[in-house]
């Protein structure tokens, strides 16, 4: 397969079926950002170290810079743009705002997606579980304290709403 020959891919992103063409070398992150205009997923390192590009792929959080665009044929993907339900923010988004859990905001989309993936499984996640599960997401501004608290608060809110 030539490096630049484009491949047709059909996938579901934020509950909407989407077709795109991409080169085999293009990462899912490049496809999301450059082909589909979904720039909420951020590139901090392009090698899976920082988590700013985290998306949920078939129910699991992944670094979208480490997934190829051609690999997501038939997959279900959720990005930061799809977390909110129509005009209502997801509890994790609300709790990040209320708890001042962001400063520059570049790592925030990755944290929100990773936190949602964790809380969907376990809204009662302990501080230790949160710290372990989200340790693939780097934040350099906030020192993590308010992020951990916001994720805990979001879990409680999800329980209350359930």
Partner 1 sequence: MTTTQYRVIGSRPVRHDGADKVTGKAIYTADTKLPGMLAGFVLRSPHAHARVVSIDTSQAEAMPGVHAVITGADFPNVEDKVADLGEGSVNLSYLSSNCMAQQKVLYRGHAVAAVAATDVHIAEEAAKKIQVEYEVLESVTWVLDAMKEDAPLLHDDLVTDSMGAKAEQPSNVPVHLHFEKGDAAAAFEEADLIVEREFRTATVHQGYIEPHAVVADYNEDGRLRIWTATQGSFTCRQQTAEVLQIPLGNVLVTPCEIGGGFGGKITVYLEPTAALLSKKSGRPVRIAMTRADVFEASGPTPGSFMRVKLGAKSDGTITAGEAWLAYDAGAYPGGMIGPGCMCVFSCYDIEHAVVDGYDVCLNKPKTSAYRAPGATQVAFATEQLVDELAQKLGMCELEIREKNAVKEGSRRVDGPVYPPIGLLECLDALKQSDHWNTPLSGPNRGRGIAAGFWFGCGLKSSAACTVNSDGTINLLEGSTDIGGSRTSIAMQLAEVLGLEAEDINPQVGDTDTAGYTDVTGGSRVTFATGMAAYEAGRDLQQQMRTLAADLWDCSADDISVGEDGSFSAGGKTVGFKELAVELFAAGEHLVGRATVSPECPTNGFGAQIADVEVDPETGKVTVLRYTTIQDAGKAIHPSYVEGQLQGGTVQGIGWALNEEYFYQDDDTMANASFLDYRMPTMLDVPMIDTIIVETGNPDHPYGVRGVGETPIVPPPAALANAIYNATDTRMTELPMSPPKLWKAMQANQTSE
What distance in Å separates the CA atoms of residue 152 and residue 150, rounded to the nearest whole number?
A: 5
Interacting positions 59-118 with partner 1 (CB under 8 A):
79-81, 83-84, 89, 93, 96-100, 102-109, 112
Stretch that binds partner 1, among 35-43, 66-74, 117-125, 153-161 (CB under 8 A): 35-43
By CB under 8 A, residue 129 contacts partner 1: no
Q: Is residue 126 within the footprint of partner 1 (CB under 8 A)?
A: no
Q: Which of 71, 64, 79, 86 is nearest to 11 (CA)?
A: 71
Q: Is 138 in the site for partner 1 (CB under 8 A)?
A: yes
Nearer to partner 1, 85 or 162 (CB): 85
Q: How far is the CB of 5 from partner 1 (least distance, A)?
A: 13
Of 74 and 138, the one with the shorter C-beta distance to partner 1 is: 138
Q: What crossing angle do the helices spanning 108-121 and 91-98 adopt, rounded to 10°?
A: 130
Please state the closest distance from residue 28 (CB atom) to partner 1, in A: 15
Please choose, from the candidates 114, 94, 98, 95, the residue with its C-alpha nearest in 3D space to the C-alpha of residue 42: 114
Closer CB to partner 1, residue 67 or residue 151?
Answer: 151
- Per-state percent for the chain, helix, strand, coil, to nearest 5: 40, 20, 45
Contacts of 40 (CB under 8 A, 6+ apart): 79, 80, 81, 109
d(C-alpha 10, C-alpha 114), whole Å:
24
For 1-33, the DSSP string reads --TT--EEEEEEETTEEEEEEE-TT-BHHHIII
Applying CB under 8 A, the span of 56-64, 67-75, 118-126, 129-137 interacting with partner 1 comes to: 129-137
CB 43, min distance to partner 1, A: 7
What residues line the site for partner 1 (CB under 8 A)?
Answer: 3, 23, 25, 33, 37-47, 49-50, 52, 79-81, 83-84, 89, 93, 96-100, 102-109, 112, 130-132, 134-148
């Amino acid at each position: 397969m030539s490096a630049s020959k484009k491949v047709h891919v059909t996938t579901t992103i934020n509950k909407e079926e989407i077709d795109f063409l991409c080169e085999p070398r293009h990462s899912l992150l490049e496809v999301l950002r450059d082909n589909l205009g979904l720039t909420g997923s951020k590139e901090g390192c392009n090698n899976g170290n920082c988590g700013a590009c985290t998306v949920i792929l078939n129910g699991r959080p992944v670094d979208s810079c480490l997934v190829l665009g051609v690999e997501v044929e038939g997959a279900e993907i959720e990005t930061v743009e799809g977390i909110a339900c129509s005009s209502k923010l997801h509890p994790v988004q609300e709790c990040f705002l209320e708890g001042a859990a962001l400063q520059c905001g570049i790592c925030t989309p990755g944290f929100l997606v990773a936190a949602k993936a964790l809380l969907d499984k376990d809204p009662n996640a302990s501080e230790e579980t949160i710290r372990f599960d989200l340790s693939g997401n780097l934040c350099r501004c906030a020192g993590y304290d308010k992020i951990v608290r916001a994720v805990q608060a979001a879990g409680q809110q999800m329980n209350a709403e359930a």
